[in-house]
Amino acid sequence: MRWRILGPVEVTAAGRVLGIHRPQQRAVLALLLLNANRVVSGEQLTEALWGDDPPASARTQIQVCVSQLRAALRTADLAGVLATRAGGYRLAVDDGDFDLAAFDTALAQARVAVDAGRLPAAAEIMRAGLALWRGPALAGAAGAFVDAAAVTLDEQYLVGHQLLASVESALGHHDEVVRALEPLVAAHPLREALVARYLLALAGSGQQARALQVYAETRARLVEELGVEPSAELAEAQLRVLRNEVTAPAGVGKGPSLTLPALEGALAGAPVPAQLPADVAGFTGREPELRELDALVSGDDGSTGTAVVISAIGGTAGVGKTALAVHWAHRVAHRFPDGQLYVNLRGFDIEDRGVTPGEALRGFLEALHVPAQRLPADLPQQAALYRTLLAGKRVLVLLDNAREPAQVRDLLPGSSTCLVVVTSRNRLTGLVAAEGARPLTLDLLSTSESRELLARRIGRKRVAAEPGAVDDIVQRCARLPLALAVVGARAAAEPGFPLAALAAELADAQAGRLAALDVGDPATDVRAVFSWSYRALDAPTGRLFRLLGLHPGPDLAGPAAASLVGLPLSRVRPLLAALTRAHLITEQLPGRYSQHDLLRSYAAELCDTVDDVPERRAARHRLLDHYLHVTQVADQLLDPYRLAHPVPITEPRPGALVDGPADHTRAMDWFTAEHPVLLASVEQAARYGFDGHAWRLAAASTTYLDRRGHWHELAAVQRTALDAAQQRADPLGQAQAHRGLAIAATWLGRHQDAHRHYQRDLDLYRELGDRTGEAHTHLGLCWVFARESRHRDALDQTSRALALYRAVGYQVGQAKALNNLGWLQARLGEHRLALDSCRQALLIHKETGDRHGAALTWDSLGYVHHELGQYDQATECYRRALDLHRTLGDRYDEAEVLVNLGETHRAAGHVEAALLAWRDALVVFDELGHPDADPLRVRIADLLRPAVPTGVVLSEPTRRV
């Protein structure tokens, strides 16, 4: 029995290929194999096969495909391996019969052999793994997911060849490496890691001149086609060829002294991620569990697993899973020098908005310094890049509050050098069974540990003075850390109050309205403690606690809390402080508050019981008004001379706080802190009928999400916005949502989708009679065409936009369109026209006072003069752009202009001036932690040493609109 996707998708039994021939059947089979032994839902299959535009018959087509697959499998008595499960399908596959699983195993075993210094064995294993490939992956399958998935799989094929080439070169088998890599380099001439190995193998086989020629050709193509210089790895390979340093280093084959180049490694010198939350103050007990966790790191337990699941007995919440995981992670952080990653997956969120694997992965990749422009478009590719980045690294990954294995699997590194800790109320037995995770079931605190926790919070003398009352409190709190912390906070706030009286109050609470719910579940006891603590609050504080249950995000700031209750911030701050002292909320960062999910759930239940529907709706309305108005203020600060005017919004309800940030820096900081809340608020607005808030909030968040590269989130939030606008039959809302979807699609490389959304945008603006909106859309289409290298089409769209802007007298749009026009004319060799267009743009920028737009236009003029060989004029233009960017504090734009200025100096033969400009740019890139720093280092190194002449080409910016 063989399941095969590393080439044409097929199944063989006893050497016979089963009759699975239709492209759609093969696609369904491929998707089930890529998710082997896991349930794939009908919705997942639909999205994988048709993307965002499934046919009405999608469900029927999938059922037909599955039926046909079963019929084919039945001919080999295998129909039972494809089972229907809970709204989806599960294909049972033995890893030994699946070519992809066998290849992954070979890759992992080869790496282990390399680490152990067994290079001949590593080479043999990798050759056997590569022999499993029969051609391009997923051949013969057709579906929306196929191209991206095939790219990811073929990437693994190249990774295998790179590993084999490194090993063979280290063994001195350079001729074999040259023969193996020559066709691959011809097929992938811009894959720098592959070319780097090819260079070294050529030089090792005595072909140094050919190696240098290959480097020169590769560099020229990189600059011409991608506008980038060679990577640090490729530049280092060239330097080794020049120095004749291509022999295996001393010690190769005797241990792990062979260092394989990083395939897509994080940038050298980039800060190591350290995302752990603050350690738990006064952490108590759990010594056996801490020893068991320590054994995982030391290897004393004999385990080879790389994941541990901390779950709660009987599903109990509040038992201290996160506290244990975070405390232990801090204890062992020094053992993971390559970083610590953390995400709260919010698996039990009351709004059912858990963090998706894609959201978590993108956050991790951002922390690992992957530029937004290089982030893969889909989840499998993102997961592959994540595993590649962590390969061989010592990283601790803490996945907090997971609901189910599917939320976690894509976040598991493939490297045995990493450790993953997962916390969940559920046991996640699927991870234990399939991924070899080590289960650690967390029980209640012992009585002595419970007493110690109280002693640390209210003082040992007080605990010793009333031992009986303490024992009663411990029993009433069911030895749950969360409940004990709440009681301890109340006792600490009333130092003169006898503990016996507190214990009596607890007893009354449990004997009261919750007694009927008592089924021996500790969670019932903790709710009784919450009830007791809540009843001790005064009315305003209690109301705030209840209404916090309506907030959709993971945390909130004081103004949002004030908007919920409709009170001034000065009156709400003392209420927040009271809730913090009562341990009913936590101030994890100054001015930002969060709740344990049990407390949040309890608050929401109270709100549903105590506060009537009009009060709850009014609170949500005030909260959404707060976020909408402040978001629009912050959005304007990010781009005060934007093309599009802010969408009209209504006056806020009384009690909603709408004071926004004061400047660009504070606006960016505000968005960074609030953006998960804003995404959740859009969903909540749509869910509760605030459709206008939903699409307007999404529109006002677009600039931030775009600039930070959160394009997947941008697409998701705009889909919600589009649904909301369609629900209200609101053409302006639909137009705004289509624009946001087009921006996301363009950055994600989905140009066909971008064209579709922009075309719908044009139709809507024409229905509205909004000629300015039409012009904006034409500029958006210009951008898509430019990214497709269709510069004539882009020029046509810009010209249409310019005509519309002139017709309505919109000067900001005219200036941006003219700058765009000039840059495109320069790209097409129409340099004199380009100069005229850019000069017209400058005059308008001066009239409107748009200094940022003027700086961009001076940069464009510098580009045009450079192309004309007028280096003195280009230098003057770049200096003017620099002065403006520095005045405005536009640090990245300043660095980009310095790079362009350096190119002009180099072209003019002023090497020292070029070095000075590039070093200044490098300082800025390093301060920003920007990925452009690494290729700039290569340019500087190139300028300082003899190199094969390749000509000078100015790097091209990715976007001018």
Q: What backbone torsions phi and psi does residue 588 show, to the nearest 5 degrees?
A: -75, -30
Worst-scoring range by mean pLDDT, 234-238, 372-376, 885-889? Answer: 372-376
pLDDT, one tens digit per residue, over 837-881 is 999 999 999 888 888 889 999 999 999 999 999 999 999 999 999
Q: What's the pLDDT score for residue 254?
A: 28
Tell which residue, 714, 712, 818, 729, has the closest CA to residue 775: 818
Identify the band that residue 29 occupies on the pLDDT scale cut at 50, 70 and 90.
very high
Domain assignment present for 413: yes
Q: What's the pLDDT score for residue 805?
A: 93
Is a pLDDT exceeding 80 seen at residue 325? yes
**How distant, in Å, are the alpha carbons of 266, 702, 739 from that of 759?**
38, 19, 10
Name the residue with higher pLDDT: 892 or 470: 470
Q: What mean pLDDT do residues 487-498 have?
A: 84
CATH number assigned to the domain comprising residue 59: 1.10.10.10
Identify the band that residue 645 occupies on the pLDDT scale cut at 50, 70 and 90.
low
Q: How far is CA 830 from the centre of its chain?
A: 41
Q: What's the pLDDT score for residue 546?
A: 93
Is a pLDDT exceeding 70 seen at residue 59? yes
- 414 and 496 in a single domain? The answer is no
- 405 and 453 in a single domain? The answer is no
Beta carbons of 833 and 874 less than 8 angstroms apart: no
Q: What's the pLDDT score for residue 520?
A: 43
Please give the structure tokens belonging to residue 258.
Answer: 């062979």
- 402 and 482 in a single domain? The answer is no
- 492 and 567 in a single domain? The answer is no
Is a pLDDT exceeding 60 seen at residue 382? yes
- 402 and 474 in a single domain? The answer is no
Please count the structural domains in the chain.
6
Beta carbons of 375 and 363 less than 8 angstroms apart: no
Is a pLDDT exceeding 50 seen at residue 469? yes
Is a pLDDT exceeding 70 seen at residue 315? no
Domain assignment present for 358: yes
DSSP notation for 22-80? SHHHHHHHHHHHHTTTSEEEHHHHHHHHHTT---TTHHHHHHHHHHHHHHHHHTTT-GG
DSSP notation for 420-434? EEEEESS--HHHHHH
Domain assignment present for 425: yes
- Compute the distance between CA of residue 420 and CA of residue 431 in angstroms, rounded to an integer: 11
Indicate the helix (H) or strand (E) that contains 173: none
Is a pLDDT exceeding 50 seen at residue 349? yes
Q: What mean pLDDT do residues 940-946 have?
A: 67
Domain end among 611, 631, 647: 611
- 347 and 459 in a single domain? The answer is no
Tokens 């072209």 sit on residue: 907
- Percent of the chain scoring above 70 in pLDDT: 87
Beta bridge partners of 421: 308, 398
CATH number assigned to the domain comprising residue 335: 3.40.50.300
Q: What's the pLDDT score for residue 294?
A: 81
- 454 and 560 in a single domain? The answer is no
DSSP state of 223: I
Residues in the chain: 961
Helix (H), strand (E), coil (C) string for 712-764: HHHHHHHHHHHHHHHHCCCHHHHHHHHHHHHHHHHHCCCHHHHHHHHHHHHHH
Beta carbons of 93 and 81 less than 8 angstroms apart: yes
Q: What mean pLDDT do residues 747-768 have?
A: 92
- 500 and 410 in a single domain? The answer is no
Name the residue with higher pLDDT: 270 or 273: 273
Name the residue with higher pLDDT: 785 or 526: 785
Q: What's the pLDDT score for residue 192?
A: 83
Domain assignment present for 225: yes
Q: What's the pLDDT score for residue 285?
A: 81
Domain assignment present for 135: yes
Q: What's the pLDDT score for residue 299?
A: 54
Identify the band that residue 521 occupies on the pLDDT scale cut at 50, 70 and 90.
very low
Beta carbons of 160 and 129 less than 8 angstroms apart: yes
DSSP notation for 301-346? T----SEEEEEEGGG-SSSSHHHHHHHHHHHHGGG-TT-EEEEE--
Domain assignment present for 639: no
Report the first-to-last Cα separation within the chain, whole angstroms.
55
Provide long-range contacts, Cβ within 8 A and 24+ apart, for 295-301: 296/419, 296/438, 297/332, 297/335, 297/419, 301/438
pTM of structure? 0.61
Is a pLDDT exceeding 80 seen at residue 341? yes
Identify the band that residue 951 occupies on the pLDDT scale cut at 50, 70 and 90.
very low
Q: What's the pLDDT score for residue 517?
A: 32
Give the CB-side neighbour count of residue 357, counting CA atoms within 13 A.
18
- 295 and 426 in a single domain? The answer is yes
Name the residue with higher pLDDT: 669 or 148: 669
Mean pLDDT of the chain: 83
- 139 and 234 in a single domain? The answer is yes
Name the residue with higher pLDDT: 289 or 614: 614
Q: Containing domain of residue 582, as a range?
A: 539-611
Query: In sequence order, what E strands does 364-428 have?
Result: 396-400, 419-424
Identify the band that residue 156 occupies on the pLDDT scale cut at 50, 70 and 90.
confident
Is a pLDDT exceeding 60 seen at residue 376? yes
Beta carbons of 218 and 190 less than 8 angstroms apart: yes
DSSP state of 923: H
3-state class (DSSP) for residue 777: helix
AA identity, residue 769:
G
- 483 and 358 in a single domain? The answer is no
Q: What's the pLDDT score for residue 301?
A: 46
Strand order, beta sheet including 82-85: 39-41, 88-91, 82-85
Is a pLDDT exceeding 90 seen at residue 922? no
Q: What mean pLDDT do residues 481-505 have?
A: 84
Name the residue with higher pLDDT: 856 or 373: 856
Tokens 């004997």 sit on residue: 511
Q: What's the pLDDT score for residue 456?
A: 85
- Compute the distance between CA of residue 306 and CA of residue 273 in angstroms, rounded to an integer: 19
- 300 and 399 in a single domain? The answer is yes
Q: What's the pLDDT score for residue 806?
A: 94
Beta bridge partners of 39: 90
Domain assignment present for 730: no
